[in-house]
Structure 1
Amino acid sequence: MSIAPALREATARLSATSDTARLDAELLMAHALGLSRTDMLLRQRELAVPATFAALLARRLNGEPIAYISGTRDFWTISLTVTPDVLIPRPDSETLVEAAVDHFAARAPTSILDLGTGSGALLLAALSEWPTAQGLGIDASPGALAVAQGNAARLGLATRAQFRLGDWGQGVDGPFDLLLINPPYIARDAALAGDVLREPGRALFAGTEGLDDYRRIIPDLPRLIAPGGMAAIEIGHDQRVAITALLEGVGLAVRPLCDLAGLDRCLVATR
């Protein structure tokens, strides 16, 4: 079978379980061919469907996220390896990097702390933005740290990024110019569906209100944020008021930012 009818057939099968059925089919085909999606689409008339495509399609039909099947995800200006040990980086989280770029428009940060680094997405995106900065990523998962370290090496950032097993800011010496924080923030009983069900629950859920980890992180922020620095903190769309109160309670100034969908997504905290 040639590429075009195979994509049509795969799209039809995926449409029952995916809102992005055509895109999923194209990404899987490109991965099976070892090409970029753009190259695959441009060359589809001359290409044949590889034998590995059927197995990849079956995995997607079984609910496995595209990023785990392909093993990669683009974020900001970098491409990352992802595995089931880490959350899949999402465009919404780029709001934190955008906040940092805005804050440091006149000067570059020299020290960056990423709490809950996961794949290293936020830290490595920031280090790629500021070539003279050094960064530290903290995570409680050895598997996640291995993914982050591999990403740093592949991106040529290993000499500027350190990773450490840890419990949020406990035992971390500051201060840092820039803090990037994306903790679990989903309430334990929240009803979830789709790809997120395949992602690590420890990186998603945080107590009955989704606030448990913020309550543990925020008391350390005044000592970790350098004068003139900032913390960019990802939040759930309905958590702005509660987390702002926690931040103001330790003496920090707070400014909210929305994501591309217009939802509250980031709180910028400064001393």
Structure 2
Amino acid sequence: MSCDPGETVGAFLCQAGQVLRAAAIENPRLEARLLLGHAMATTAEALLRDPGAPVPPAAAARFRAAIEARLAATPVAHIVGTQGFWTLDLGVSPATLIPRPDTETLVEAALEICPKHAALRMLDLGTGTGCLLLAILSERPNAFGIGVDLVPAAAALAAANARRNGLAGRAAFLAGDWAQALAGRFDLVVSNPPYIESGAIAGLMPEVARHEPRSALDGGADGLDAYRHLAAILPGLLAPGGAAVLELGAGQRGAVEALALGAGLRPAGCRADLGGIERALVLRSAA
């Protein structure tokens, strides 16, 4: 399809879509709309309602720069600065993983086992953007949670996301090495730990391998280092009857369940994501 010449929304979207398609971008039209909407400080939906609207020169320049960044494999979320997750709008940065739809499976699993009005004490280890903790808090009005991340910039971003989504009064974030700075026990512990095998990281999509933090990806030679640590500390973190929900990589359920059993934890089911991958492993305390 040829594009009409001009400086209109429709012309810019058509041209950008062709460029992104030629670069083998998976969803070129959608990404073009998102990037132009960001450049024009409007929504992708609003663009479609008025394709003949002019694009101001400053917005056109921002859009061209965004397209160049995307062609260099910069994730769209890093270009626009936000990512939707569950019902939340979250700020993102290179300090954290970009929240993904697969991780919403952990939210579903957690909500299934947590009574709606219970006064839950929650802990999110490796909180990143805070997406897991904040999504669960948004659905459990009497819960309070703590998010911990090794990277101070990530903990600060998660705190900003709590304020952004009106949840700062029920969430606290700190920088630390797993749970070393914490005392007490929790009704629910969630974690999306690094689980990619070290040798496989270079072969990931460029958006991930080049632009997302290695510390949030690298699970060691077999991808299980973080799970070994979690298995060792979870018995001391879970309250009697408490549960942990851990994100898994493809094919990791058996190995992680074995680690959990060796630490005295009880596997209590695993929820698959929309792609059929066993993604959210539920563990129960022994007591």
What band does the TM-score fall into relative to the shorter chain? over 0.9
Of 223-232 and 254-263, more deviation after overlay is shown by 223-232
**2:49 aligned with 1:42, yes or no?**
yes
Does 2:276 align with 1:262? yes
Asked if 1:9 is matched to 2:9, the reply is no
The within-5 A match list for 1:230-249 is 230-249=243-262
Provide the rounded CA distance (Å) in 1 between the counterparts of 2:204 and 2:19: 23
SS class of match (1:12): helix
Q: CA deviation at 1:109?
A: 4.8
**3-state SS of paired residue (1:247):** helix
Deviating 4+ runs (over 6 angstroms): none
- Rounded to whole Å, the distance in 1 between the matches of 2:14 and 2:51 is 13
List alignment gaps of at least 5 residues for structure 2. Answer: 1-6
Corresponding residue pairs, total: 271
Cα-to-partner distance string for 1:104-150 (whole Å, 9 max, x where unaligned): 24653521100000111111111111122111001100111111111
Instruction: Provide the secondary structure at the position in 1 that maps to 2:102.
Output: helix
The answer on whether the counterparts of 2:117 and 2:142 sit within 8 Å (CA) in structure 1 is: no
1:199-218 superposed matches below 5 A:
199-218=212-231
Could you list the runs of 5+ residues in structure 1 that have no partner in the other structure?
A: none
Take 2:96 and 2:148, find their aligned partners in 1: how far apart are those partners? Answer: 13
The residue aligned with 2:204 is: 192
Contact residue 75 and residue 207 of structure 2 kept, 8 A: yes
Tell me how far 1:46 sits from its aligned partner: 3.0
The C-alpha deviation readout for 1:180-200, integer Å capped at 9, x for no partner, is: 111100000002123112111
Residues 257, 264 of structure 1: 8 Å contact kept: yes
C-alpha RMSD of the superposition: 1.4
Q: Which has the larger radius of gyration?
A: 2
Whether the 8 Å CA contact 2:116–2:139 is kept in 1: the answer is no
Instruction: Give 1:47 shift.
Output: 4.3
> How far off is 1:44 after superposition?
2.5
Deviations 1:28-68 (A, max 9, x none): 01111111222222232334363221111111111100000
- 1:146-202 superposed Cα distances (whole Å, 9 cap, x missing partner): 111111111222221111111112242231111111110000000212311211111
Larger CA deviation: 216-225 vs 57-66: 216-225
CA distance in 1 between partners of 2:145 and 2:274 (Å): 27
In structure 2, distance between residues paired with 1:29 and 1:134: 38
Looking at structure 1, the residues matched to 223 and 158 of structure 2 have their Cα atoms a distance apart, in angstroms, of: 25
